[in-house]
Structure 1
Amino acid sequence: MSRWGLTIPLTGVPLAEHQQIISELPDLGYTDAWSAETNGTDAFTPLALASQWAPSLRLGPAIVPVYTRGPGLLAQQTATLADLAPGRFVMGIGTSSDTIVERWNGIPFEEPYKRVRDTLRFLRTALTGEKVKQEYDTFTVKGFKLEKAPETPPPIVLAALRPGMLRLAAREADGAITNWLAPHDVRTVRGELGEDPELIARLFVCPTGDAAEARAIGRWMIAAYMTVPVYRAFHEWLGRGEALKPMNDAWAAGDRKKALEVIPDEVVDDLIVHGSPEDCVARVREYVDNGLTTPVLAIVPGGGLSPLDAVRALAPTS
C-alpha cells in the first residue's frame, strides 16, 4: 500500500480543535500529516502538535520557503521537529512564490534555483552537527553550529515543479514535492525525477457529487494559483498553456469574472479531485498507479460533510 497523507490544519477548523481528528488518523489508514505555509498557520506549529497527538504519523511541511527564514533558523526548526518526532519527520523546502516572498514579506525573489540548492546543502551539513563556515552563491554562513543536532538527520525533500528543480531533487535530496497535477501528469514528472526518489503531491479533494459545486470552487482555486508565474510556467510545461491562456489573458486585463468563466471544465476536472468520497478515493489511487509515492489530501469543503466526516470518508480504509 502507498502512503496516504492529510494536509493539516483542515480548512475551517481551529488548530486547537484538531486533536481528535489527528489522533484518529493512524486507525483510519493515514500514514502522514503535512502542513503548508501561505497566509494561514505557519508550517511548524501544526506538526509540533501532531507529533504528540499521533505518535506514529510521519510529519512534514510542504513546504517551508527558503527565503523567509535564515538558514540557521531553518536548521533549528528542522532539528526541533526531528527531536519531537524522531525518525518520523521529513523536511520539505522550496522557493514558494514571488507573491509570498516578495510581495508579502518584502524579500527579493532572486535566483530561486540556487537559493534552494544552497539551502539544501547547508541543511545537509548543519543537521550533522558540524560547524558551518561557508560562502554559498546566495548567502554566507559564518560559524553556525546546532546546539543539539538530531541523532539521525531527517530526510529533505524539495518542492519541484519543473525539470531543473526535479533533477536537483533527484541528485541531492531525498525526494520531491509537487501539486496541482492530474494523474497522467505524474508520469511527466517522473520522467525528470526518475523512478526511485519519493514523489509527494498535495491533491485538492472536494467530496461532493455536485459537479457544478466542485467546479465553481475549483475555478476560484485554479485562478488564484495558475496566474502566479511559477504555476503558469509549470502548466505550460505540462501542456496546459493553451487551455489556460484565456484565463491568464483575462486575469492580466483585470477581468476576474471572465478569467473564471473561461477555465475549461476539463482543466478543473483534471486538477480537482471531486465526486462521492468513494469516487475521490479511487481517483487518488489513479495518481498512485501512475507513480505517485505519497498522496497528501487537501480537503476542500463540499458536499455538506463536516471536516471530520470528510477525513473519515476519504480514508484509504473507508
Structure 2
Amino acid sequence: MTRWGLTLPLDGVPLHAHRALVEELPGLGYTDVWSAETAGTDAFTPLAMAAAWSPTLRLGTAIVPVHTRGPALLAMSAATLAEAAPGRFVLGVGASSPAIVERWNGIPHTEPYRRVRDTVRFLRRALAGERVDAEYETFTVRGFRLERPPQTPPPILLAALRPGMLRLAVREADGAITNFLGAADVPKVVEAVGAAGAGKELVARIFVCPTEDAAYARQFARRLLSAYLTVPAYAAFHEWLGRGEQLKPLHEAWAAGDREAATRAIPDEVVDALVLHGAPEACREQVLRYVEAGITTPVLALFPTPELAADPGALRRVLRVLGPS
C-alpha cells in the first residue's frame, strides 16, 4: 500500500488554524501527516494536535534529532504520542546537522552514525516497557523504565541518505526517511537498501511549489537549497548521487563566504529535480514518479506561492489535486 502524507504545519497558516484542514485531509486521500524539527515548531506538538483533530491519520516525525533530547526524554515524548494515537504514530529519528545540534543547541554533534544506532537500540527496549540499564558507545542509561509504555510501540524510521545509514535503517529500524532527492535518484537509494529492505517503509519528503511561475519557484527553492546542500551530509549525498561537478560552484562560493553567489550557482536542472513546480496537476505527476521508483510513502512539503496567497480557498483545491485520489 502506498501511503500519502503532508508536512505540517503549513507555511503561513497559524498552528491553531490547521484544525479544519486536518479534518478534511482523509477525505482528500491523505493517509499521513508528518512534522519536521529545525527552527520552527517542535516535532511533537503539531502531531499531538492532529491526533485530537483526526481519528484516522497516521502521524510521523521526519525527523527528531537524536542529540537534542536525552534518550529518556525522547522515549517519553514518543511514548506520549503513541498513547495519544494508539497504532497511528511513527517515530522518525536522525542525526540532523551540526548547525541545528551544535550552533543552535550547544550540543556536540559527535559520532552521528553511532549515536543514531545506539538511540534506536535504546528506544526499542524502552518503548517495549523494559528497564534499561546499559552502556552504549555514545551514552549510558542507568535504571530507566517508562512509567507509561505504549500499548503499541511505534515503528522507528531512520533519516538516511547514503548506503551506511540506509543499511542501518533496514537492519535495525523499520525503514528509512530520505530527503532532498529527485525522482531519478530513487533507484540508487533503493539499490543501496538492497534485498534486506523488502517490506520496509521508504519515506521521501518531496518539496512542492505548485505554481506555473517558474522564476518564482526557482528563486524560492534556491534559498532553501543553498542552505541545505552545503551541509556536509547533504553535500556528500549529492556527491554520491553524481551531482558533485554540478554543485562545485555552489560549494566554492559558499566556502568563500559569498552566499548570494552560492545561491545563484545552483543550476536550474538541480533546482527542478529537487523542488517540484508547475501546475498542481503537473506536480502530482512528478510525485507519482517517486512512487513508481520505489518510494512507499511520499510526504509533500508544500511551499507558499503567489496563487495561494491571493486566494484563501486555493489551498484546499491544490491539496485535492496533489492528493492520491
Matching residue within 282, 285, 310 for 1:279: 282
Aligned to 2:245: 242
Report the 3-state secondary structure (helix = DSSP H, G, I; strand = E; otherwise coil) of the residue aligned with 1:184: helix
1:315 has 2:318 as partner: no
Find out whether 1:5 has 2:13 as its counterpart. no
CA distance in 2, matches of 1:144, 1:223: 42
Q: 2:177 maps to what in 1? A: 177
SS at match of 1:167: helix
Distance across 2 between alignment mates of 1:129 and 1:113: 25
Report matched runs for 1:21-60 at 5 Å.
Answer: 21-60=21-60
Any unmatched runs of 5+ in structure 1? none
Q: Which residue of 1 aligns with 2:71?
A: 71
Correspondent of 1:202 among 197, 202, 205: 205
CA distance in 2, matches of 1:273, 1:253: 29
2:13 aligned counterpart, secondary structure: coil
- Counterpart position of 1:255: 258
Q: Distance in 2 between matches of 1:303 and 1:281?
A: 19
What is the TM-score normalised by the length of structure 1? 0.98
* Matched-pair contact (CA < 8 Å) for 1:243–1:264: yes
- TM-score by length of structure 2 reads 0.96
Query: What CA distance in whole angstroms lies between the structure 2 residues aligned with 1:278 and 1:266?
Result: 20
Give the distance between the partners of 1:90 and 1:290, measured in 2 at CA.
23
Give the Cα separation in 2 of the matches to 1:127 and 1:6. Answer: 26
Conserved 8 A contact 1:4-1:294: yes
AA at the equivalent of 1:16? H
How far apart, in 2, do the equivalents of 1:217 and 1:278 lie?
A: 20
Give the match for residue 264 of structure 1.
267
Pairs within 5 Å for 1:73-88 = 73-88=73-88
Amino acid at match of 2:321: A
Q: Of 289, 292, 295, which aligns to 1:289?
A: 292
Moved over 6 A (4+): none
Alpha-carbon distance in 1 for matches of 2:77, 2:318: 31
Is residue 97 of structure 1 aligned with residue 105 of structure 2? no
* Alpha-carbon offset, residue 303 of structure 1: 4.4
Q: Quote how far apart the aligned CAs of 1:151 are.
A: 1.3
Q: Which runs of 5+ in 2 are unaligned?
A: none
Aligned to 1:146: 146
Q: Alignment partner of 1:90: what SS?
A: strand
1:313 and 1:12 map into 2 onto residues whose CA distance is 20
145-154 or 292-301: bigger deviation: 145-154
What one-letter code is carried by the residue in structure 1 that aligns with 2:170? A
Query: What's 1:214 paired with?
Result: 217
1:83-135 Cα deviation digits (max 9, x unpaired): 11111100000010000000100000100000000000000000111100000
RMSD of aligned residue pairs (Cα, Å): 1.0
1:308 CA displacement: 3.9
Q: How many residues end up aligned between the 2 structures?
A: 317
Q: CA deviation at 1:162?
A: 0.9
Output the amino acid matched with 2:257: G
